[in-house]
Amino acid sequence: MSTSVQTVDALSAGVSHAIRRASEALLAQRHDQTYWWAHLTADTTLESDYILLELWLHPPRNGVWNPPTRPRIDKAAQSILARQLPDGGFNIYPEGPADVSATVKAYFALKVSGLGPNHPALRRARKRILDLGGIQAANSYVKINLSLFNLYPRQHRPTVPPEIMLLPWKFIYQMSSWTRAIVIPLAIVQALNPGKPVPAGFTLEELFTPDRSMAFPRDEKTFTWKNVFYAFDRVLKIWERRGPRGIRAKAIRRAEQWMLERTRYSDGLGAIYPPMMYVIMALDLLGYPPEHPDRAEAERQFFNLIVDDGESFFFQPCFSPVWDTAIAGFAVGEAGGIPTDALTRTADWMLSKEVRRKGDWAVKRPGVEPGGWYFEFANEFYPDIDDTAMVLLALKHMRASSPQAQEAAQRRAIRWLLAMQSRDGGWAAFDVDNNWEPLACVPFADHNAMLDPTCPDITGRVMEALCSYGFTGDHPAIRRGVEYLKRTQEPDGSWYGRWGVDYVYGTFLALRGLRAAGENSGAPYIRRAAEWLRGVQNADGGWGETCASYDKGRFVAGPSTPSQTAWGVMGLIAADEAGSSNALRGVEHLVETQRDDGCWDETPATGTGFPRVFYLCYHLYRNSFPLLALASFQKAVSSSGRNHV
């Protein structure tokens, strides 16, 4: 499918100008001309949980919050209120529907912060909660958090026992890295918490639906893993009351040691919000006073996540500098036109973030030398495969102050990536073969991320990175990756995107990986993928997909966004359709929607944390990915003999 050269000629000046402006804008956004780091935003649950933590640490006396605490709580409450939907609920992604769990959290936070039960915002939220099934319909972590204050019956919240630390077969490492980072401090909290006080007369009884059971919903079949774990939860509740205290004490000590070890060389446990919050609670219950170095550092790291710039107040779920830097650096490098030393400080900074200590990943790969990169400023125990691949791609366009150090880091990262390939041929985010499916049935697994299985998006990116360093389709790892992508292609020709929304993301990365591996673009399965991308393009030439795709299990169209349009364009280019009318319309859309300052606007969430539960707005995606798409288009058209762009 191709259009006339005249069409490409007509785009040439606009594309070149857009690339130049986008490159200049991105380079200007570097911190200290070194690294990129933009805001990472989510939903109101972060501010709601912050107020819950303040209730834990500084409960109001006689209904009055401590003066030092009050201003920040007021800001958090206002931040929550500003995002209430017309129907009274709160969503988990921009422009999404009300979510019962987010709405229950918001209601609790607003009420405990001082809003009266007859406040219009609470009346509307209460009605929406009851319409959605009441507090009983909220997810397990809402119930767990509220049960810490006896606001939800403990007998009906999932049990997270510290004794998981004593189980054989390295049980905790069968859970995803983020799940174990959450549940281990949470297990300490559950085991030691007798019930934190709430203001006199405070209750959430008005959120319970009388005709809805609080019991775990059992499957109709006699034997399912879900029913097994529900039965086991009942046993655990008896164990909590009658089990040997010595065993529990040993488990708590083991959990405490594990938790504290993983706060070293990191910006908090896992460097992500939920574990960091539970660590503070756990240290409080373990008797660490506020001035103890471990607790003081835990609180400092947690409160560092606040953005309070005078105009807005919100918590970031974590920091994303390595990820932001790798994507932006790769885009700028692909665009070209900058001096060779322009990114030297960026390369040096990324090399300083290389992981040189063994982390949780080494449990299953004990003989592998550490290498690779994490996502945040510091998170030594948790390098991730996706970041490592992205950094490798970026470093191809950079020259560090010490080329020898750069080459050594790249070699280590490549060896680490090869070692982290799972048995099925794909790559996951943090671990190898983290796919024991029964664990997804435990009562506290409804955050929808109990496991870290392989996924097409990361697999495609890893293949692209490895092939950029000379690997070919004949290499066993690449061959297995190709076969994995063939097996995981959806019937409609797309690929699922685990870490970006959703099928457009997975499809573009799978196609780029397959193209790098040397797969024939005329192969039927690649033609199906290209046909799918063409079929979901919006009338304005862009691509857009909402987070509802995860709920429906299929593509759900949304308004065109710069990042997703860039993904659609790059997918078609990888399928050898750079000159197609669809690709040209996508490029034209990017050029026309670019602002005068070289940037783009984007409101919807296009990043994924926990599918169906937690989504992310990467505020640099809207600029990095369009530049990368335009640069990819420019290269593809030039290499095909059309030197017009």
Residues annotated as part of the active site:
386
Q: How many Cα atoms occupy the beta-carbon half-sphere of 38 within 13 Å?
A: 20
Helix (H), strand (E), coil (C) string for 578-622: CCCHHHHHHHHHHHHHCCCCCCCCCCCCCEEEECCCEEEEECCHH
3-state helix vs strand vs coil in the chain, percent to 5:
55, 5, 40
Six-digit token pair at 434?
């983290």
> What whole-number distance in Å separates Cα of residue 226 and Cα of residue 223?
8
Cα end-to-end distance, the chain, whole Å: 19
Residue-wise DSSP of 293-329: HHHHHHHHHHHTTEEE-SS-EEE-SS--HHHHHHHHH
If one counts every other C-beta atom within 10 angstroms of the C-beta of residue 131, the result is 15
Residue-wise DSSP of 181-203: HHHHHHHHHHHH-------TT--
Q: How many Cα atoms occupy the beta-carbon half-sphere of 294 within 13 Å?
A: 19
Cβ atoms of 139 and 110 within 8 Å: the answer is: no
If one counts every other C-beta atom within 10 angstroms of the C-beta of residue 117, the result is 11
Cβ atoms of 383 and 376 within 8 Å: the answer is: no
Sequence letter at residue 492: D
Cβ atoms of 606 and 35 within 8 Å: the answer is: no
Sequence letter at residue 178: W
* Phi-psi sector, 253: left (phi>0), alpha (psi -120 to 50), beta: alpha
Angle (CA) 572-40-84 rounded to 5° is 105
> What whole-number distance in Å separates Cα of residue 416 and Cα of residue 362?
10
Q: Name the CA dihedral angle for 240, 243, 244, 250, rounded to a multiple of 10 degrees.
A: -50
Cβ atoms of 588 and 566 within 8 Å: the answer is: no
Residues 6+ apart with CB under 8 A from 535: none
> What whole-number distance in Å separates Cα of residue 533 and Cα of residue 438?
34
Cβ atoms of 86 and 98 within 8 Å: the answer is: no
Angle (CA) 32-34-36 rounded to 5° is 95
Sequence letter at residue 432: V
Burial category of 294 from C-beta neighbours within 10 Å (exposed 0-12, middle 13-18, buried 19 and up): middle
